[in-house]
Chain A
């Protein structure tokens, strides 16, 4: 066990953890931020996606010892009140069904829009193509990302 100081959603946290503990479990079990979801544990589904210094990352694949001073952003920190253009578009387009994968999709889409404010269909597919939505909401996810890109313009 070691003590790690990490920054999550702009807040400093000090947690005692095994160095190899993935940030998925640090967030959920140690800090109590449960918006980041466990889906597969092997980086295959994207449900645990968070931003690490603005980059799209799979929470189940990043050990806490690798975080250092990098800033983690989770779905809870994307906006204070659900007002991020992606969150608004998600609500507007009624994207979620069971909702479980949606935070991961939104976080990866946020990383995409940060770098590529006006993504093409191909770029959206590249950024989100490795996620799984078991309810099959892909058509609406594509629409929502495009709408968010439009409104952010």
Chain B
């Protein structure tokens, strides 16, 4: 079983259906549908063909085509092979650090038998008509697109083979392919680049089989990211890096409270700042326009504003009280069983992407061009068309690299703001949300309060589990008892969800509700094991019904040396998670000294079914674990006077290098299951493994996050 995957992730409403759709369209690459996509390419290139004024348009990575003479072979919107053999794969999902560009390129290149050194990636613009839903989140990209991408590679390969066979006058079945070349029965060789013109004339075959896993040469191998060189050399790859002639710079002063609005503003001092061009009150914010960012920032600081605040009474304390009050009766526990209970409190979490929110928009009478790093560039295009009244084909959205996303960049608020300003000013606008704007006006992971009851019988078997999760705001569809979201066979186990009203905006944060449910469940199952007098690893293992999960848990325990002694003051904790088509287990060692917790070691074992790029999987697990360290021990957003208290890294302390364990071991297991998800998977068991390790070290349970050792009882 898996938890309900949240539909709040922007643009992902159709992610479940996309699997079928992707598979269907891939399976049905008839001439009409396959070539139909060419129409899409034509349309999208026509779109981009008006003269862009900027220094960069769509990001491209990998070896450049020399632009050799001859026709490229461009069977659809996703693939182009140039006469010099460069294979360009267009990626219509957003890369926010998860390396999806490289993953997608590997999926196509595998079936194409491409020469990996000649594979290049280009980012798709926001364009739903050509690429379908481009919403990126919920660890869905590989899961929903692998079949389509592999079919594209396999079909193109079949056409290249047919082209070579035709030239040699042999049967295609006598030919084989290898690393960008077709090899004939007598050892003749033609490179894909040499075949582009001929391949175009080959009828598109349908139902071309894809490889059996045993034939994989690229999938499953550790590949370096195709865009590494650009990161390491400072290439202009993020939205704000582009240069648009005549652009003005904008920042906003925002209401200190979530539902506040401008009451009065005195902008006389701001307008005197050299370089300040304009001050525009916009309801819940005041935009300051400058000739450069610094002028706009200084202007913003010089504003004298007062705000209406209809939710001034709201604070973390009032929200906590409302959530605690929303807890009702627990399910009855069996008589004569040993019953334990606990409450857990989790704070709002800011996404705090390394790249603060920003967008560049250029709205003209007859067109609109946007540069943004978005998890839903197709939605940005649709919203901008509505906001400007322009036809959809006159709105071009360049989806740039995202300097982190974690769910926040599914929101359309920041590009919409840039479009609004550009429309008002009739000029290109480069809009920054300052770090303070970004952190204080996030769509936060909700604050939650959890009340749990559990029971074990005299033999130490669990016989009761009742979990009430109350969050602000509630995301529950109803308040009935439902599945508990645990991985363990406990009779009668159930969870119910509810909550309380809040002015605090919330949204998906890496792994969404699993950031709360799995964290709390994995802490409480540990408590139940303790109450049963059982080892927390053995207790879990005996109750897990999913074989893949059991295997990763066992492997994690084995790799970590579960049960071997640690020095006094140190402890070892375990936790696991099953979701997004993947399974993971963490074993963590910590040392608690005074009020300081040092994470000494992390062992993570992950089964993503078939790992496309194990190097990328390892990176995601390492990174998500640092999110776990940060949110288990350091970061949280609190509310006072209806607004966020924390505003920057000085008050929202994140994990830094010293917080990274000296040893971080990631084992990628291949269960042979279908391609699983990755981006979200690394987080949900990281936090409870740390909390359980703190218990092992101190004998005290962590019931409130971020954990403060001095508050533990």
Contact among B293, B353, B435, B625 with A98 in the assembled complex (CB-CB below 8 Å):
B353
A9 CB to nearest chain B CB (Å): 11
Q: How many angstroms between the C-alpha atoms of A99 and B373 in the bound complex?
A: 13
Q: How many angstroms between the C-alpha atoms of A99 and B660 in the bound complex?
A: 18
B235 CB to nearest chain A CB (Å): 7
Are A131 and B229 neighbours in the complex by a CB distance under 8 Å? no
Contact partners of B656 in chain A: CB under 8 A: 129-132, 138
Contact partners of B227 in chain A: CB under 8 A: 96, 99
Interface presence of A152 (CB below 8 A): no
B225 CB to nearest chain A CB (Å): 6
Contacts A103-B234, A133-B354, A136-B623 given; does A98 touch B274 at CB 8 Å: no
Interface presence of B22 (CB below 8 A): no
Are A94 and B435 neighbours in the complex by a CB distance under 8 Å? no
Interface presence of A42 (CB below 8 A): yes
Contact among B356, B402, B626 with A39 in the assembled complex (CB-CB below 8 Å):
B356
Are B623 and A132 neighbours in the complex by a CB distance under 8 Å? no
Contact partners of A1 in chain B: CB under 8 A: 274-275
Interface presence of A40 (CB below 8 A): yes
B617 CB to nearest chain A CB (Å): 12
Contact partners of A42 in chain B: CB under 8 A: 435, 648-650
Within 8 A of B (CB), among A32-85: 32-42, 44-45, 47, 74-76, 78-79, 81-82
Are A132 and B654 neighbours in the complex by a CB distance under 8 Å? yes
Interface presence of B99 (CB below 8 A): yes
Contact partners of B655 in chain A: CB under 8 A: 136, 138
B706 CB to nearest chain A CB (Å): 16
A114 CB to nearest chain B CB (Å): 18
Give the residue name and chain of the B residue nearest to A21 (CB).
Answer: B294
Interface presence of B171 (CB below 8 A): no
Are A25 and B293 neighbours in the complex by a CB distance under 8 Å? yes
Interface presence of B352 (CB below 8 A): yes
Within 8 A of A (CB), among B596-645: 615, 619-620, 622-627, 629-630
Are A38 and B356 neighbours in the complex by a CB distance under 8 Å? yes
Q: How many angstroms between the C-alpha atoms of A140 and B621 in the bound complex?
A: 12
Interface mask (A14-26 → B, CB under 8 Å = 1, otherwise 0):
0001101110010
Interface presence of A30 (CB below 8 A): yes
Q: How many angstroms between the C-alpha atoms of A141 and B229 in the bound complex?
A: 15
Are B648 and A18 neighbours in the complex by a CB distance under 8 Å? no
Instruction: Choose the segment among B70-78, B236-244, B374-382 that binds chain A (4+ C-beta atoms closer than 8 Å).
Output: B236-244
Q: How many angstroms between the C-alpha atoms of A41 and B433 in the bound complex?
A: 12
Q: How many angstroms between the C-alpha atoms of A32 and B234 in the bound complex?
A: 12
Q: How many angstroms between the C-alpha atoms of A92 and B228 in the bound complex?
A: 9
Contact partners of B619 in chain A: CB under 8 A: 94, 97, 137, 140
Are B234 and A18 neighbours in the complex by a CB distance under 8 Å? no
Are B232 and A138 neighbours in the complex by a CB distance under 8 Å? no
Q: How many angstroms between the C-alpha atoms of A2 and B249 in the bound complex?
A: 20
Please list 18 pairs of residues, one from A and one from B, whose beta carbons are closer than 8 Å in the complex, sorted by A's number. A29-B249, A35-B236, A39-B355, A44-B650, A76-B234, A92-B224, A94-B225, A98-B353, A98-B401, A98-B404, A99-B237, A132-B654, A135-B404, A136-B622, A136-B627, A136-B630, A138-B655, A139-B664
- Chain A interfacial positions (CB closer than 8 Å to B): 1, 17-18, 20-22, 25, 28-30, 32-42, 44-45, 47, 74-76, 78-79, 81-82, 86-87, 90-92, 94-103, 106, 121, 124-125, 128-142
- Chain B interfacial positions (CB closer than 8 Å to A): 96-99, 224-225, 227-238, 240-241, 243, 249, 274-275, 292-295, 297-298, 352-356, 401-405, 432, 434-435, 615, 619-620, 622-627, 629-630, 648-650, 654-662, 664
Q: Given A98-B353, A136-B630, list of 8 further CB < 8 A pairs? A: A35-B236, A40-B649, A94-B224, A96-B97, A100-B353, A131-B657, A135-B626, A139-B661
